[in-house]
Structure 1
Amino acid sequence: MAAEQNTIHNLILENKEKLSISGVSDVDTFDEGKIILFTEDDTLIVEGEELHIQKLDVANGELIIEGTIYAIQYTGDGSTARANKGFFKKMLK
């Protein structure tokens, strides 16, 4: 059952200012206007202003973003798109 827990993906947006995401496998790029991250099944783009990563726990798949959030978009890239990408994976090599 442990493998099933890793595939669960949830988004909780609070007042367009705090976004909690589960099922995150890595963060590709981030700045104050855009954060691109990978879930188990897709690539997710979060756009806004003054975006900051409040918490990142890749081991548990948890990410909390704070700032003014304008858009959340799935790209449909799937797992093959993230095979060689990821800011934190590159840093840990």
Structure 2
Amino acid sequence: MTERRQDGKNQNIILENREKLSISGVDHVNSFNDNTIIVSTVKGVMNIKGESLNISKLNLEDGNVVIEGQIDGITYSNKDVGGSKGGGLLGKMFK
């Protein structure tokens, strides 16, 4: 049985011409570079892959992120990559 977050929050994803991705319901940006951006959202960890990726707008208070570049793929994972909820590398080392 898998555990899912059911906190009543909605998430919207708008992809425009595979060049501009707007995401709501973002809790944390775990990591980013030109080819991969990983964010924790209210619906799970989201991996965005592409080329020349750039976070052009970030407002974690509202939970909104806008990513620009060539978007090649978007996937969800139930795993918390990077430990956004108080863990991180040191937290994993001392468990």
RMSD over aligned Cα atoms: 1.8
Bigger Rg, which one: 2
Q: Which has the higher helix share?
A: 1
Paired positions, count: 80
For 2:49 and 2:19, the matched residues in 1 are separated by: 12
Structure 1 segments of 4+ aligned residues over 3 angstroms from their partners: none
Q: Percent identity?
A: 40
- Whether 1:17 aligns to 2:19 is yes
Unaligned runs of 5+ in 1: 87-93
- Whether 1:70 aligns to 2:93 is no
Q: TM-score, normalised by structure 2?
A: 0.77
Q: Residue 39 of structure 1 corresponds to which residue in structure 2?
A: 41
Unaligned runs of 5+ in 2: 1-6, 89-95
Q: TM-score, normalised by structure 1?
A: 0.78
Q: Residue 50 of structure 1 corresponds to which residue in structure 2?
A: 52
